[in-house]
Amino acid sequence: MTTTDTGHDGVRTIETGAVPARFARGWHCLGLSERFRDGRPHTVHAFGSKLVVFQSGDGRLNVLDAYCRHMGGDLSQGTVKGDEIACPFHDWRWGGDGRCKKIPYARRVPLRARTAAWTTLDQDGLLFVWNDPEGNPPPDGVAIPRIEGAASDGWTDWRWNETVVHTNCREVVDNVVDMAHFFYVHYSFPTYFKNVFEGHTATQIMKGLSRPDARPPSKKGRPGMLGNTSVATYHGPSFMIDDLTYHYEGMDLDCVLINCHYPVDANSFVLQSGIIVERDERLGAAGAEEMAARLSDFILRGFEQDVRIWKNKTRIDNPLLCEEDGPVYQLRRWYEQFYVDAADVRPEMVERFEFELDTTRPVEAWKKEVEENLARRAAAAAGGASPGTVSRDAVSPGEVSPGGAA
């Protein structure tokens, strides 16, 4: 399908392609596991269907298809009874393994009374489900790595947020290679940018400077922010761990940022962010908590900036790229591995691929733009006129500037 075809020779046509008919194979994070531990069943709309998440009496978190195989009742409106979820319609009891264990009014449970149970992983305070359209278990080596800080008193607890975005989730994955949007959409200033794709992982390494035209000057007594270093890796199609360090005058601040999502259907997904911050004595007793809260807000603002773009843009299968753009086509080739049967994964989808962007020209152009913004701001301050073109959104809540990989 095309959205632009003027019939003029030489006019670039946008190919929007079709959204995939299936959902990616891989681990998907459903959020903080604690949220599901309140003894009640939870409804989760994911992978084009409805799921129920419940904690059984043995403490395990279980994920089943929500629709009861008896007469279609919604298990997520039911009740947890012991180790089973009881359907609100006729009280059939379903175990976390997907088997019907008991029908209180019946002499026996029908043979093959079984519903779909999802493989789960409860790790570092997060609940994951394995999605595989072919129904296979997760292969060896396709694991979500442990996040050391998440289990450590030396780090804050998760600050977690989620929001529904109404577009296909490929848009968020594209950002892995999109250096330029960090300047124009997020008001950060990348100076180094590299991607490495290998197997089921895709990494973005980015260094950036703080942008003086996009934030108020540091408050007195607070160290000025110099820049950040971010090493962010997607482990599979949807879960990115970003080791993010903010560099301040005289100190570094280490964070782990999670950027993850799960598809609701082909045209919407739940976008989630989580952050933990290392407790550094130089931040003071409440400093790390405060910093985590501020960063969390800040990351949300970053997501909002992306969402504003996604809301209005078109899907595009044939982006027209310049030399200073990242490897969009190679990234999408990597991403495709999750949408084909395991037997159809081609070597070029998983082979190691490395690309470091030459940032010389962008850095030159952006320095100039920042200087112009500052000059305009100074002139406006002197003359009392409007401060110029940098939007209010550019003003971050503190001295930080977004690193972050999305």
Q: Which does 73 bind (CB under 5 to 8 A by kind): ligand FES, Fe ion, none?
A: ligand FES
Return the DSSP state at 74. B
For 278, phi and psi rounded to 5 degrees? -70, 135
- Residues 231 and 229: their CA atoms lie apart, in Å, by 7
**What is the greatest pairwise CA distance in the chain?**
87
Q: Which does 89 bind (CB under 5 to 8 A by kind): ligand FES, Fe ion, none?
A: ligand FES
Among 65, 124, 306, 399, binds Fe ion (CB under 5 A): 306
Decide if residue 54 touches ligand FES (CB under 6 A). Answer: no
DSSP letters spanning 158-219: PEEEEEEE-S-THHHHHGGG-HHHHHHTT--EEEEEEEEEETTEEEEEEEEE--GGGSPPPP
Task: Using alpha carbons, select from 198, 194, 152 the residue that is nearest to residue 177.
Answer: 194
Q: Which does 71 bind (CB under 5 to 8 A by kind): ligand FES, Fe ion, none?
A: ligand FES
Return the residues of window 92-121 that contact ligand FES according to CB under 6 A.
92
Instruction: Look up residue 147 and give its two tokens.
Output: 């996040």
User: What is the CB neighbour count within 10 angstroms for residue 355?
Assistant: 14
Decide if residue 73 touches ligand FES (CB under 6 A). Answer: yes
Nearer to ligand FES, 73 or 403 (CB): 73
Nearer to ligand FES, 90 or 301 (CB): 90
Q: Which does 173 bind (CB under 5 to 8 A by kind): ligand FES, Fe ion, none?
A: none
Task: Using alpha carbons, select from 70, 78, 41, 72 the residue that is nearest to residue 56.
Answer: 41
Which residue number has the CB closest to Fe ion?
A: 306
Instruction: Look up residue 84 and give its two tokens.
Output: 């089973």
Choose the stretch contacting Fe ion; rule: CB under 5 A; options: 37-45, 305-313, 322-330, 394-402. 305-313
- Residues 168 and 404: their CA atoms lie apart, in Å, by 21
Decide if residue 90 touches ligand FES (CB under 6 A). Answer: yes
Choose the stretch contacting ligand FES; rule: CB under 6 A; options: 29-37, 63-71, 185-193, 340-348. 63-71
Decide if residue 68 touches ligand FES (CB under 6 A). Answer: yes
Decide if residue 174 touches Fe ion (CB under 5 A). Answer: no
Q: Which does 87 bind (CB under 5 to 8 A by kind): Fe ion, ligand FES, none?
A: ligand FES
Give the footprint of Fe ion on this chain (CB under 5 A): 175, 306, 406
